[in-house]
Amino acid sequence: MTRTHPHLTQTVLDACHTLAEFTTTPGSITRLFLTPPMHDVHAYLTDWAQRLGMTSHVDAAGNLRCRWEGSAPEAPTLYLGSHLDTVPNAGAYDGILGVVLGFALVEALGGQRLPFALEVLGFSEEEGVRYGASFFGSLALLGTAGPMLDLRDAGGQTVREALTAFGLDAQALPSAEITGEALGYFEIHIEQGPVLEAAGQSVGIVEAIAGQNRFDLTFTGRASHAGTTPMLLRRDALAAAARFVVAAEDLARSTPGLVATVGMMDVKPGAGNVIPGEARCSLDLRHARDEVRLAALPELLASAEGFASERGVTLTVTPKMEVQATPMHPQFRALLHQAAADAGLPHPDLVSGAGHDAMVLAARMPAAMLFVRSPGGLSHHPDEAVLAEDVTDALAVGSRFLQLLAAEGGRHGL
């Protein structure tokens, strides 16, 4: 199938490059929730929306919302987009690519009205960097972001205060909630991993967003002299923690689809000639099927307890987060597979190990995601990249997806 609107590929890439310049740290990309560069992002994208004939506004949560009306006044709405915030020293495509492609898909319509409205969303916050909690933007659309208003950032400013400083009214937050009939949510996002590149494929259809658990584990033994304490009389906290780290890796390697990560370790007292008396570490456990993750979890924690007990070490486990797996909507997935096939593209199923706004909105409406290849598997890194031909493919699949939805008549829930 001939790719439509090839000029839009360069438009998308140019927009991503321009938006990367809106940062608090010149020379790198850092754009946190409700910081001044967001005003520049909103202005740039709003100008594009107005040129396309879309209406636009920034809601009370700081989300940019730009709307292309449907062919009938009471048409349902298909939401599409991603997030505008970044991690510190980020790349130019995580989140932003999905927002920009939303505008490009509207532009590709050439003025055509569909049997549903399109609303392009630029979420104000997804990464969780500034306040240590994620998804304020998408949770606001569900009406459940209110409890986050009193969170404080490192400087002591609450979300409520930050909204005011940004020129918004925290009291109006309930007005950000979605009203009217929602057809669904469609998000295009870079894969942020190496699977598509390893397969030599440009796009993939997300089957599910993995559920996850996060814990802090503290192994407490007894610090003592490294030279004078016999091995059998030691209470080495680090030795117990180290055995746990390897056990976590071994279990994940032997369980298809499971990933387990110990990404942080803090050892005290931290001297080369002192047996560690305390070792604190993290655990991040993820799988696309909750039953697999929940079966692995007690096994892992029991192994940690066993390694501690063998060494006369105590173990304290502190839960930090639990998120259920989120399957993508089967009918939307089927249409994406058909759209990719119609575009002459391979269309593998993928599991998203990272969280996305789609997992939030899936609680309210059908949701689907299209992944775009990440060269080198890099993301959350300045060298994050996309290939121009992959952007072209994503546009082709997205445009065909909208056509297929239109052929279905924009029926709610399909």
Query: Mean pLDDT of all residues in the chain?
Result: 96
Cα separations in angstroms, 123 against 98, 134, 262, 286: 11, 11, 30, 24
Cα separations in angstroms, 54 against 102, 120, 266: 12, 10, 51
- Structure pTM? 0.89
Beta carbons of 32 and 145 less than 8 angstroms apart: no
Beta carbons of 227 and 370 less than 8 angstroms apart: no
What tens digit of pLDDT does each residue of 275-330 get?
999 999 999 999 999 999 999 999 999 999 999 999 999 999 999 889 899 999 99
Identify the helix (H) or strand (E) that includes residue 213: strand 211-220
* Dihedral in degrees, nearest 10, Cα atoms 247, 249, 253, 258: 110
Q: Return the SS3 of 267.
A: strand
Q: Calculate what percentage of the chain has a pLDDT beyond 90.
A: 95
Beta carbons of 397 and 370 less than 8 angstroms apart: yes
Residue of 310, 299, 160 lying closest to 237 (CA atoms): 310
- Whether the upstream peptide bond of residue 269 has omega within 30° of 0, thus cis, is yes
Q: Which residues contact 51 (CB under 8 A, 6 or more apart)?
A: none
Alpha-carbon span 117 to 412, nearest angstrom: 12
Task: Please give the structure tokens belonging to residue 333.
Answer: 């997935």
pLDDT at 211 over 60: yes
Beta carbons of 12 and 102 less than 8 angstroms apart: no
Residue 69: predicted pLDDT:
97
pLDDT at 408 over 90: no
Would you give the end-to-end CA distance of the chain in angstroms? 25
Residue 168: predicted pLDDT:
98
What tens digit of pLDDT does each residue of 120-138 get?
999 999 999 999 889 999 9
Alpha-carbon span 91 to 17, nearest angstrom: 10
**Which domains does the chain possess?**
7-209+325-407 (3.40.630.10), 212-322 (3.30.70.360)
Task: Please give the structure tokens belonging to residue 28.
Answer: 């790198």
Provide the 8-state DSSP code for 30.
Answer: -
Provide the 8-state DSSP code for 329.
Answer: P
